[in-house]
Structure 1
Amino acid sequence: MELNLKRTLTCIILTVLTTLCTHAQTLCVIDGTPLPDSLLHVTIDEMRSDSAKQIVSHRLGLIPPYAIETIQTFSAEEQAKNITFCKTPRDIVFIRTNSFAELQWVLNGKMIKPRKKLTIIDYKLTPQRIMEALPKGIKPTDIGSVNIITYINDPRQEKHPTIVIKTKTFNRLTNQRSLTEESNE
């Protein structure tokens, strides 16, 4: 009985491994960063179509189609000459975004420049990068709230994804002003 169970489990494991190897996914790389399949799952045929930018935009849900500069597709054999993969992808898709994917920063209601540029994709993959890009003079302990605003369905192309930060001191000042205004009424 135990021997049959081991044989059955071995057969199941071999079947799963064979399936994984024969059905490798497309590797998507945006601005030099590989994306996990859970974030963007596309096929090479979709990326070769005329609506590739709309497909990427819709599936990511982060950037509008006009924020995608280029999409290039390659077979894994073309690109894998000098690259070693744990599991060789079926195809490789390189996506390059333009400045419309960069986060604009608003601190306490004023536009500011970050210490280093950050895209909405960078934020989605590793939110900790916000701390690295914080403007000079702002410490993580100063932050009261952080909101990310995306303009996916907005027809105005000048709209960038925006990170809105309010500091704790700004929140206290705002609360004190509103209490003073209420008491004056």
Structure 2
Amino acid sequence: MSEKKKPKVDSFYTQKMFGQQFALVPLTKPIKLSYDTDINTWGFLETSYKGFSFIGANAKKIGVQGQYVYGKVEEREYENEDLMPDEIVYALSSGGATWSTTEKKGSRYKKATSVEGKTNSYLLAERWFILSTKDEKSEGFFDKNEYLKSLKEKGIDGKMYNSDSLLSQFQETGVLEYFPDSIKAKLRP
């Protein structure tokens, strides 16, 4: 009797670790969450996707639906010892931060506030994001209502997952509920 061969599955859906330090959770190809086991922190394996910087993105809760990954970048403290006294710091709707000696205008920028008693330390505003792997587009929002409106327009239900729960489920079963049905069928015994 010959043993039944398991169908081949893209390693995106099966890789559970990156080196010995990072536990991985696949979202929608090619975007993965990573858990840094050395410092017990969630983040993204990639530093950016199609113009959206993941640096500082909160990955404790994440949304995944079809081609979309969505979520929130929490307000966070940003320090830069190289800033000059006349430079203004801005949070970017596309993630990350920038600074300039001239005032920046437009919906892409939100002026950061100084942290009292700390030189060159600023609070970057919270913001939300929607990434589309099919269209290879990214959207960032400072206004939560605009974010929710965009989710609705795209037919996204807004369901959020707890990353710790996703990691536990993926480590135990190797399958996550939002995986494409064709992948789930190959991964289940």
Q: TM-score range by the shorter chain?
A: under 0.3
Rg comparison, structure with higher value: 1
Determine which structure has the larger strand proportion and give its number.
2
